[in-house]
A and B are shown apart, each in its own frame.
Chain A
Amino acid sequence: MKVPEIRPPVELVVASGKGGVGKSTLTAVLALTLAEKGYRLVAVDADAEAPNLHLVLGVEEWSRVDEVREGRLAYILDDRCTRCNICAEVCTYGAVEVKDGRYTINPYICEGCLTCSLACPPKAIRYRFRVKSGEIRVAETHYGFTLVSAETMPGRPNSGKLVTEAKNLGKKLLGPSGVLLVDAAAGIGCQVVSSLTGAQLVVLVAEPTLASLSDLKRIHKLTKHFGIAPMLVINKYDLNIDTLPLIEEYAEKENIPVIGRIPYDPSVPKAMAEAKPITVYDPDSPAAKAAKSIANHIAENVLPHWRAWWAKYRPRKPEPYVPIILRPGQDNSRKHA
């Protein structure tokens, strides 16, 4: 098969809502397959709070590490502090700690909001600016493609921005054509929103549990909001045959094509322990075969005609969002319709 040149690049995100359903495992197989078939490819690990795609891909060394600095943190000059306790009273976050009569600010709690420094009578509070909030790392994998990985520093709040910057770097490395493959975080928060922004296709991964179904609905709502065409992979489908039909019914009702089912397979955790993608660790295992056929399907039937695929499965209308407007003096308890 001759691999088509995809110009401008297409962005394919692997997301799931629920964690631990096999996003990174599937992403690794997908990346290997696409690279093997000759696609121009950059993989982005957009799970900035807990990046681990590089572990699955056996990356040992980063070829480039960029620090991202952002925001500010307060600290107290002890010789100026009069122990008046005003900073502790005004801090909404409770970041001011008193120990043996000394006032300090807990950097994991401080939001850099400036309130304490405005209130401090002797002006004893200073700021550290451009605090390191994370790293964006680049590595050449053994499998012929580049990996960009974002990592936040614990306690720093900028995962969404890091993901945006990691994706931008990925696009720059990719150039004018190819595939940007994004491994999203679990959940539907800031960094997942950043992972999905600007994407055209999303592979949703679910497992047959009620928790996964519930999270699938939530992530699907988000992808509908962005007008992204979804496809569904059901992992560990044979673990819970009773719940499987619920997932399939939801997919059918919502016009999500189910592009594959992967059986539960003990060789998957073994492959993880070896830091190898499942198709490298044991290509003949049932999970590896199923994942490989899903990856082949995406490489052969989805990506070459991704515009047609998008037109066929894209959400018909964007998910409406009703703003929650709170006005002073009103009853602010949320009413769910």
Chain B
Amino acid sequence: MATIKIAFATVRGGLDDVLADRFGRAPTFTIVEVDPATGEIKNIEVIQNPGYTAGGGAGVRAAQTIAEKGAKIYVGPQPGPNAYAALQYLGIKVIPLTGTTVRQALQAALQQLQQQ
């Protein structure tokens, strides 16, 4: 079964970190490679978000960054209009979620995927 990559907007990064409260200027993204059928985690990668320090166009830059890492799904706070459009264009599905840890968010995202 093929794996997919899910990007989470995070502060420090890692499975036990809580989700950040914004997308474009989130400090880091935690990218989790997971087998959607079994929920088995294959790989975890924490990357810095260049949008965090960007003057303008933070959301678009953040979208570009997670797309370059091959993420197909984004989980975290609702992105702004421009970032949202960029994510749509890049074919990244958005699952809006805040206030939980990455671990819990991953479970929620996998549940949504399995329902489809």
Q: Is the CB of B22 within 8 A of A321?
A: no
> Chain B residues with Cβ under 8 A from A161's Cβ?
25, 53-56, 58
Interface string of B64-94 (1 = CB under 8 A from A): 0000000000000110110011101100000
Within 8 Å of chain A (Cβ to Cβ): is B96?
A: yes
Q: How large is the interface on B (under 10, 10 to 19, 20 to 34, 35 or more residues)?
A: 20 to 34
Q: Is the CB of A158 within 8 A of B55?
A: yes
Q: Which residues 153-203 in A have Cβ within 8 Å of B in the complex?
A: 157-158, 160-161, 164, 190, 193-194, 197-198
Interface centre among A160, A222, A324 (most CB of B within 10 A): A160
Determine the distance from Cα of A323 to Cα of B81 in the docked complex, in whole angstroms: 9
Q: Is the CB of A323 within 8 A of B88?
A: yes
Q: Is the CB of A133 within 8 A of B81?
A: no
Interface centre among B24, B96, B99 (most CB of A within 10 A): B24
Known contacts A197-B21, A197-B22: A318-B56 contact under CB 8 Å: no
Shortest CB-to-CB span from A30 to chain B, Å, is 22
Known contacts A164-B22, A197-B77, A198-B21: A225-B84 contact under CB 8 Å: yes
Q: Is the CB of A71 within 8 A of B85?
A: no
> Chain A residues with Cβ under 8 A from B77's Cβ?
197-198
Determine the distance from Cα of A322 to Cα of B89 in the docked complex, in whole angstroms: 9
Determine the distance from Cα of A161 to Cα of B58 in the docked complex, in whole angstroms: 9
> Chain B residues with Cβ under 8 A from A337's Cβ?
none
> Chain A residues with Cβ under 8 A from B85's Cβ?
321-324
> Chain A residues with Cβ under 8 A from B56's Cβ?
157-158, 160-161, 190
Shortest CB-to-CB span from A93 to chain B, Å, is 14
Q: Is the CB of A193 within 8 A of B25?
A: no
In this complex, what residue of B is CB-closest to A319? B81
Question: Total contacts A to B, CB within 8 angstroms?
Answer: 55
Q: How large is the interface on A (under 10, 10 to 19, 20 to 34, 35 or more residues)?
A: 20 to 34
Known contacts A158-B56, A323-B85, A323-B88: A164-B25 contact under CB 8 Å: yes
Determine the distance from Cα of A318 to Cα of B80 in the docked complex, in whole angstroms: 11
Interface centre among B21, B23, B88 (most CB of A within 10 A): B21
Q: Is the CB of B58 within 8 A of A160?
A: yes
In this complex, what residue of B is CB-closest to A158? B55
Q: Is the CB of A226 within 8 A of B55?
A: no
Determine the distance from Cα of A225 to Cα of B89 in the docked complex, in whole angstroms: 17
Shortest CB-to-CB span from B18 to chain A, Å, is 10
Within 8 Å of chain B (Cβ to Cβ): is A5?
A: no
Determine the distance from Cα of A325 to Cα of B87 in the docked complex, in whole angstroms: 12
In this complex, what residue of A is CB-closest to B59? A193
Determine the distance from Cα of A228 to Cα of B98 in the docked complex, in whole angstroms: 13
Q: Is the CB of B53 within 8 A of A70?
A: yes
Q: Is the CB of B88 within 8 A of A157?
A: no
Determine the distance from Cα of A157 to Cα of B57 in the docked complex, in whole angstroms: 11
Determine the distance from Cα of A323 to Cα of B87 in the docked complex, in whole angstroms: 9
Q: Is the CB of A321 within 8 A of B88?
A: yes
Q: Is the CB of B78 within 8 A of A323?
A: no
Q: Is the CB of A318 within 8 A of B55?
A: no
In this complex, what residue of B is CB-closest to A221? B81
Shortest CB-to-CB span from B87 to chain A, Å, is 9
The residues of B with any CB-CB pair to A shorter than 8 Å are: 21-25, 53-56, 58, 77-78, 80-81, 84-86, 88-89, 96, 98-99
A-B contact pairs, 5 of them (CB 8 A): A157-B56, A198-B21, A198-B77, A225-B80, A323-B88
Q: A158-B55, A321-B85, A323-B85 are in contact. List 12 more A-B contacts (CB 8 A).
A: A71-B55, A133-B55, A157-B55, A161-B55, A161-B58, A164-B25, A197-B21, A222-B81, A225-B80, A318-B78, A322-B85, A325-B89
Name the 7 nearest CB pairs between A and B, nearest first: A323-B85, A198-B21, A158-B55, A197-B22, A193-B80, A323-B89, A323-B88
